Structure 1
């Protein structure tokens, strides 16, 4: 007997059929039983088979469940997006810069790994290896990556620093306005760990941006008005900021041959030497370099004579923000005045001076009583001790130009420099800008300078999301390589930010990567066969995010590059 499927019209039936031979010996078939319609008998088929086996006294072999093995899921969507962006921008051309290195490993792939790690889960170089165990990088086989390979890749990055910077400049050049480029330059300090001393060590003790003396190196960054980073430079931790402006701008001018460039820099970068040096720089187009520099407080005395008549004419009785300009040393001096800020600063200074004078009077009274032989509670004061404490308090209040402490006198004495106080009150609530630009209005110049705040946000990204510091490398070359890796990561971050802002997407690059990270790579093995790989379903939100970033949806790579 056997089972047969027969059709009647559009329906199909399951029948039990017996094969036999007739009287003439010819093979024939006859239906023993019709088990039912095929589309209805499916749920009861197992019961029929079991019943037949029981009727014949047979035991059916046990059916074992399939053997299924799942590997740990790995994050895929975030590194996929970064890989797509990496190739779209042309950063894979860095492989050409490393083509003549002595290393046999794929330097560009290792560099890509370290850059992506800064954006996805910033770790130390050893931490990168732990991170690689949790991700599936498209097109790369990661099993053979070692800590030494990462360090060798950093060494190769420094060896080919000039070629790398040239390649990055070529990639960014199409994104820069060739007619007019407004660029912003600023510096920050990056904390460095370790106590060892190296030859040409960039880790030096200096004043950090947090106001503390720390071992550090300095990082200068240039970016466009749109927030695109163009260039970075590493300086020793005790370098004076004013000395970094000219060499940095000269490199920038050489690499980005725009017809016109306006450099905007903060207060700490203005000096007489810088003004002369910047005015001497000429662009490849033949046009002079233009600049907008803020006057720092330490140089207010140099421009006070130019500001005083403008203040008397435009700001003395102002009740709201106002702008005016004059000339100083052949350059435009733009003055922005905020009366509310001025009143707040003047009141706060007067209050501080009054408190210091009261403290000084209390100490002087106690010293006089001691001189007359009167005994008082507490430790005995001395003129030298009072002088040191008072001077320290004046320094902490940043009033040394106004409160003059006589450090040479045997007795504690001080005085108020009324001229310095008058100059300070004159400058309260003011922003002073020096520029050689002629065709921008005072309002446009102030707006350009205030855009400098965006580079500060870039520094916050470097220090928080990308975690550039503290740096634990001790070799100067490794520190420079680490800074380059973080700078390239900042470029990718800012391009993602531009695309999100252009689409008015209410998310940041780090949140976008966190959302895409939920797209995972899975691998399954069934009954010991060859493993099969797949990706988790891309949600509508993730698809919209990829479309906003102008990136394709994730798919499994066709081939893997072995490192």
Structure 2
């Protein structure tokens, strides 16, 4: 939503925009013949809402009474206010402000206020402003770095854009508390300072949210994603340590050469483009507590060890780490158990590991823990516990997908027996590029193509199932399964990062600014998760409700002042649930200079 000027057209329904400007600008409060005198000489005035319209037949202007208010001395002022408020709801916020302009004042423009006001309230409630101010206090007094960083975070949550566009958004399209304008250079300088104070900021923010939200960090969920760049060439390789940090050539900690934006295994199916790898840890309620960023060719396997080392510095109590199959190596499991820690990790069923084969072969009954989840714990020896989870709905979907793939494969190989050996080999090569089909293909000793019945039967055993490995002896099988299922909170975080907050496209090339951009997205995700947790609504609904709260600028001989629109009931409810003070009716006033 952008700022609106007094002359801009309304964006409401067509029938409203065609009529309301006439009601506002071409009506008069009373018709000339709306008064009479009593026998004692007293004049009684009657108020009417009338409209002058052109009569094409009579070729003259005629007055039509739209509404009668009754006697002036008995006017229901409260009723008039209700009528005006009801009519204002039909208008765009800018038009409503223009219609309510006080006498002698001109309406200049309107900008959205509600979203920025709500985010600023959460920002201050989490004391992020107090954490940042001593960290980024610089000699450049012409700009408040903390306010600029808040503006960039608010931009990601409300109208994601490049930093150049974000500066224009601040100056022209939104009313941000404490920041009337900003330049793109100030945005870049603020980002440079942000990345310098990242360790202190992330620790300070965690301490605040852990206290204010009573966070349960007995389970921490970790996963990674990748985000790509529209580039033809990757970054120049530089020497880096095992954490992906740039070091000098010859430094004892240097382990590899890699560009930051470089090619790797893409989780967005864009292996053709350079990327970076991003990791995130969230609580069981979906609150993101920290993000990390690595070069694009970094494999998942060792990352969780770095993450645990970083989090160890925060002096957390005993934590059980929850992660997907990519982090289940023996080295990772040993590392996660250090310091009385634990893990719940997904185990690969199709890898043919001894543990998976033995677990699936064990008999036993499933216990239903939810409508779509059944669990069975199996004892295969050793210190780890194994839980098989079964989702009946997922089993039906797996079976349907397999049947479709087998039908496609059958169609492709039908009649291939009559082909020459060369043509069959070519067909075999084509199918090998399609993993879903290739899984069910068998080649006979004579080179004939057949459906692999044994593979189909093996897959049937896995329909709707996944296997979990847990080191904690106290958690029940149900807790293990439900805990792992909450790993979806990380997936939800990535989905919101890439859609609502526009993690990509990233409009930066420097490594430090790419990292700063990801930090800004993390802070924005933190604010919207707190808003969702506090209200029970999605951020999409919250944003839609509060962004209709505008502030209008009025000017006249006495000066200029800003006044907000009336608060709707949904807006009042949102501010109340989040314990955010409602914005004042008059935001600020500037007397005219002599």
Do both proteins adopt the same fold according to a TM-score greater than 0.5, normalized to the shorter chain?
yes
Deviation at 1:297, TM superposition (A): 3.8
Name 2:160's counterpart in structure 1: 122
Name 2:49's counterpart in structure 1: none
Distance, in Å, in 1 between the alignment partners of 2:509 and 2:342 is 38
Matches within 5 A, 1:411-560: 412=447, 423-501=458-536, 507-527=537-557, 529-555=558-584, 556=586
Q: Tell me if the contact between 2:549 and 2:565 (Cα under 8 Å) persists in the aligned partners.
A: yes
Deviation at 1:517, TM superposition (A): 2.0
The partner residue of 1:388 within 429, 444, 452 is: 429
Name 2:319's counterpart in structure 1: 261
Please state if 1:139 is matched with 2:178: yes
Distance, in Å, in 1 between the alignment partners of 2:451 and 2:547 is 62
Deviation at 1:135, TM superposition (A): 1.4
Higher RCO (CA-CA < 8 Å; seq separation 6+): 1
Q: Which runs of 5+ in 1 are unaligned?
A: 1-36, 44-64, 283-287, 369-380, 502-506
Please state if 1:271 is matched with 2:308: no
The partner residue of 1:108 within 115, 134, 146 is: 146
Q: Tell me if the contact between 2:349 and 2:356 (Cα under 8 Å) persists in the aligned partners.
A: no
The partner residue of 1:235 within 267, 281, 294 is: 294
Relative to the length of structure 1, the TM-score reads: 0.74
Matches within 5 A, 1:28-47: none
Please state if 1:71 is matched with 2:112: no
Q: Secondary structure of the equivalent of 1:531?
A: strand
Distance, in Å, in 2 between the alignment partners of 1:81 and 1:176 is 17
RMSD: 3.4
Relative to the length of structure 2, the TM-score reads: 0.70
Q: Tell me if the contact between 1:360 and 1:390 (Cα under 8 Å) persists in the aligned partners.
A: no
Deviation at 1:461, TM superposition (A): 1.3
Q: Secondary structure of the equivalent of 1:477?
A: helix
Distance, in Å, in 1 between the alignment partners of 2:408 and 2:112 is 59
Cα distance, 1:357–1:136 mapped onto 2, change above 3 Å: closer
Larger mean Cα displacement after TM superposition, 165-174 or 351-360: 351-360
| 1:63-107 per-position Cα deviation (integer Å, ceiling 9, x unaligned) | xx9864322112112211111111111010211111367886422
| 1:320-354 per-position Cα deviation (integer Å, ceiling 9, x unaligned) | 96432224542001112346754664575466457
The partner residue of 2:222 within 178, 185, 207 is: 185
Larger mean Cα displacement after TM superposition, 335-344 or 245-254: 335-344
- How many residues are paired up? 466
Distance, in Å, in 2 between the alignment partners of 1:398 and 1:454 is 33
Name 2:437's counterpart in structure 1: 397
Cα distance, 1:66–1:489 mapped onto 2, change above 3 Å: closer
Name 2:192's counterpart in structure 1: 155
Cα distance, 1:361–1:241 mapped onto 2, change above 3 Å: same
Name 1:174's counterpart in structure 2: 211
Deviation at 1:493, TM superposition (A): 0.4
Name 2:389's counterpart in structure 1: 336
Name 2:358's counterpart in structure 1: 306
Larger mean Cα displacement after TM superposition, 172-181 or 187-196: 172-181
Distance, in Å, in 1 between the alignment partners of 2:210 and 2:320 is 16
Q: Secondary structure of the equivalent of 1:550?
A: coil
Distance, in Å, in 1 between the alignment partners of 2:499 and 2:426 is 43
Matches within 5 A, 1:48-63: none
Cα distance, 1:436–1:102 mapped onto 2, change above 3 Å: farther
Name 1:285's counterpart in structure 2: none
The partner residue of 1:216 within 254, 275, 283 is: 275
Name 1:20's counterpart in structure 2: none
Please state if 1:247 is matched with 2:282: no
Larger mean Cα displacement after TM superposition, 513-522 or 208-217: 208-217
Distance, in Å, in 1 between the alignment partners of 2:588 and 2:104 is 27
Cα distance, 1:533–1:391 mapped onto 2, change above 3 Å: closer
| 1:412-457 per-position Cα deviation (integer Å, ceiling 9, x unaligned) | 4678888766654433332211001111111121111111112212
Please state if 1:194 is matched with 2:252: no
| 1:487-523 per-position Cα deviation (integer Å, ceiling 9, x unaligned) | 000000000011012xxxxx32232232222222222
Larger mean Cα displacement after TM superposition, 300-309 or 490-499: 300-309
Deviation at 1:258, TM superposition (A): 3.0
Q: Tell me if the contact between 1:97 and 1:167 (Cα under 8 Å) persists in the aligned partners.
A: no
Q: Secondary structure of the equivalent of 2:559?
A: coil
Please state if 1:326 is matched with 2:372: no
Please state if 1:364 is matched with 2:431: no
Distance, in Å, in 1 between the alignment partners of 2:375 and 2:348 is 18
Cα distance, 1:415–1:102 mapped onto 2, change above 3 Å: farther
Deviation at 1:118, TM superposition (A): 0.7
| 1:279-313 per-position Cα deviation (integer Å, ceiling 9, x unaligned) | 2x21xxxxx11111111244343324422441x44
Cα distance, 1:274–1:343 mapped onto 2, change above 3 Å: same
Q: Tell me if the contact between 1:219 and 1:232 (Cα under 8 Å) persists in the aligned partners.
A: yes
